[in-house]
């Protein structure tokens, strides 16, 4: 399977696009979806609907946000696993992805109310300032090997959101110690079967090689501090110190210019 590219000397954004294009051509559903979901189209899109109902719909209720008639943006849309459910809520949906092959496949379904577009993998160029009411990213930042690129997506989220717009971003929220392309991660297990059996979360420590599959972790405090600097008010967090950390909230009405002053250019690794 096309897991990763380890060639050195090329910018990592090029590597991400190349590797995810290869994964899309080989078997997009297998690389996007949970490993315990059957690799067939019906189950694939059902899982997207289930994840939306589990992670997004309750968030809207907590934020008292009505998506009807509004503009939603998904960072890392793949071939549209979540898009099929998201378009039912929003007046306009835009899905972006680094992989042209993923976008080609997503567009081939001709989903009403949806627009799919390719982005660089490090920004949201082409999405206008203050043009979006909700930004979602799920199971995407965990594949980015550069912390600066992840935080740049935070800044881009602040840029494209309208004042008062809301966001929910998923990432690995583990303690980390970076050593070049290697990273020590420590956190708490969030495996559902283990949690049900023991009713506790088990600490773990592991070593990861940073590439286009195993990406960087963001410590909870770092994520909250970055949001604060960008004028993103955090109202909702889940899963701190696990691989399923969510950070969500609302863009401050006075934060229009903050996003343009705190962007981190992606770097080569």
At 137-146, the pLDDT tens digits run 999 999 999 8
How does pLDDT run across 186-227, given as a tens digit for each residue? 999 876 555 555 567 889 999 999 999 999 999 999 999 999
The residue with greater pLDDT, 184 or 199, is: 184
Contact between 34 and 44 under an 8 Å Cβ cutoff? The reply is no
Contact between 229 and 255 under an 8 Å Cβ cutoff? The reply is no
Residue extents of the structural domains in the chain:
12-173+220-261
**Interval 52-57 mean pLDDT:** 98
Asked if pLDDT for residue 3 goes beyond 60, the answer is no
Return d(Cα 219, Cα 201) in angstroms, integer: 18
pTM: 0.89
Return d(Cα 258, Cα 137) in angstroms, integer: 21
Tokens 């070049």 locate to: 180
- Crossing angle (nearest 10°) for helices 41-55 and 12-32: 100
Q: Which two tokens stand for residue 91?
A: 């007046």
Among 3.40.50.150, 3.30.70.890, 3.40.50.300, 3.10.105.10, what is the CATH number of 12-173+220-261? 3.40.50.150
Q: What pLDDT sits at residue 192?
A: 59
Cβ-based neighbours of 36, under 8 Å, separated by 6 or more: none
DSSP 162-181: EEEEEEEEEE---EEEEETT
Q: What pLDDT sits at residue 262?
A: 57
């Amino acid at each position: 399977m096309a897991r990763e590219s380890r060639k050195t000397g090329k910018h990592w954004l090029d590597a991400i696009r190349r590797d995810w294009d290869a994964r899309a051509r080989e078997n997009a559903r297998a690389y996007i979806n949970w490993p315990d979901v059957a690799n067939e189209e019906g189950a694939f899109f059902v899982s997207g609907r289930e994840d939306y109902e589990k992670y997004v719909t309750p968030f809207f209720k907590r934020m008292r946000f009505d998506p009807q008639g509004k503009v939603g943006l998904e960072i890392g849309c793949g071939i549209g696993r979540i898009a099929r459910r998201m378009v039912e809520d929003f007046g306009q949906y835009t899905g972006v992805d680094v992989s042209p092959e993923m976008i080609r496949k997503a567009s081939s379904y001709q989903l009403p109310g949806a627009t799919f577009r390719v982005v660089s993998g490090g920004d949201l160029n082409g999405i206008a300032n203050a043009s979006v009411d909700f930004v979602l990213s799920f199971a995407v930042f965990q594949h980015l090997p550069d912390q600066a690129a992840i935080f740049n997506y935070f800044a881009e989220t602040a840029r494209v959101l309208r004042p008062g717009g809301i966001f929910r971003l998923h990432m690995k929220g583990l303690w980390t110690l970076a050593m070049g392309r290697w990273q020590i991660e420590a956190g708490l297990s969030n495996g559902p079967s283990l949690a049900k059996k023991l009713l506790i979360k088990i600490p773990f420590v592991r070593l990861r090689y940073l590439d286009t599959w195993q990406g960087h972790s963001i410590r909870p405090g770092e994520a909250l501090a970055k949001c604060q600097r960008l004028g993103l008010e955090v109202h909702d967090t889940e899963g701190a110190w696990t691989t399923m950390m969510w950070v969500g909230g609302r863009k401050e009405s006075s934060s229009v210019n903050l996003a343009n002053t705190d962007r981190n250019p992606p770097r080569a690794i």
